[in-house]
A and B are shown apart, each in its own frame.
Chain A
Amino acid sequence: RKEVEQDPGPFNVPEGATVAFNCTYSNSASQSFFWYRQDCRKEPKLLMSVYSSGNEDGRFTAQLNRASQYISLLIRDSKLSDSATYLCVVTPLYNFNKFYFGSGTKLNVKP
């Protein structure tokens, strides 16, 4: 079983739509959680960390559900520039140097 699993998509949404992605993780002892954004043929860039209490940054909201072992990313009022692949990242409690990446969820925002 993979450490981190994501729906590869693509999610095709119109501008202005609200879209949500989930990411499940297998290790209940996972400690830290992140969402990264990766544009085509570019490096991943940190979008936001995911805290136990959830966090919001503008149009982006991230939440953690430890009981069900998943994290979510909600994007409101989608922009064309939000089109990218969104990577979920999880680190285990026992080794802060191990970062487990999901394969990513592709989002296409269309005019």
Chain B
Amino acid sequence: SQTIHQWPATLVQPVGSPLSLECTVEGTSNPNLYWYRQAAGRGLQLLFYSVGIGQISSEVPQNLSASRPQDRQFILSSKKLLLSDSGFYLCACTNVAGESTDTQYFGPGTRLTVL
């Protein structure tokens, strides 16, 4: 079965600083990958998804960007963080071998606080 790793687990960053969050997937190949953000007490907001290396679809215009340099690696970045970027960032995957293509699994998440 697949395993999704995310790091760091928690992060405290000042406003205006850059950001790089990493997600890697083990145990499957050619997954579809997703970045979500969950603000405190809120639902999940889809930020980006990717169906292959170098392919990124952006769902919400903002100061974040994503990249997929390798099949099982998904990176979320920002050049300058805003206070509103604080939240719980979750990486997810679908298209896992042996599962239906729309079953989604999540990594443990990164909790980001921007001060």
Q: Please report A residues at the B interface, Cβ cutoff 8 Å.
A: 4, 31-32, 34, 41-46, 49, 87, 89, 91, 96-99, 101-104
Contact = CB atoms under 8 A, between A and B. Distances in A.
16 contacts: A4-B43, A31-B102, A42-B109, A43-B90, A44-B44, A45-B106, A46-B105, A49-B100, A96-B101, A97-B34, A97-B49, A97-B51, A98-B46, A99-B104, A101-B36, A101-B44
B108 A43 contact: yes
Query: How extensive is the interface on chain B, given as a class?
Result: 20 to 34
Looking at chain B's contact residues, is the secondary structure mostly helix, strand, loop, or mixed?
strand
Given A87-B43, A97-B57, A103-B42, A46 B104 contact: yes
Interface string B59-89: 1000000000000000000000000000010
Q: Is the interface of A mostly helix, strand, loop or mixed?
A: strand
Contact of B102 (A42, A44, A87, A96): A96
B102 A91 contact: yes
B1 interface: no
Interface in B15-59: 32, 34, 36, 42-44, 46, 49, 51, 57, 59
Given A43-B90, A46-B103, A97-B51, A102 B43 contact: yes
A49 B101 contact: no
Contacts of A99: 34, 44, 46, 102, 104
Contacts of B57: 97
A97 B32 contact: yes
Contact of A32 (B36, B90, B102, B106): B102
Given A32-B102, A98-B46, A43 B32 contact: no
B49 to A, nearest CB: 5
Contacts of B59: 98
A64 B51 CA distance: 29
Contacts of B49: 97
B106 A44 contact: yes
Given A44-B90, A97-B34, A101-B44, 13 more contacts: A4-B43, A34-B104, A41-B111, A43-B107, A46-B103, A46-B104, A49-B100, A49-B103, A99-B34, A99-B44, A99-B46, A101-B36, A103-B42
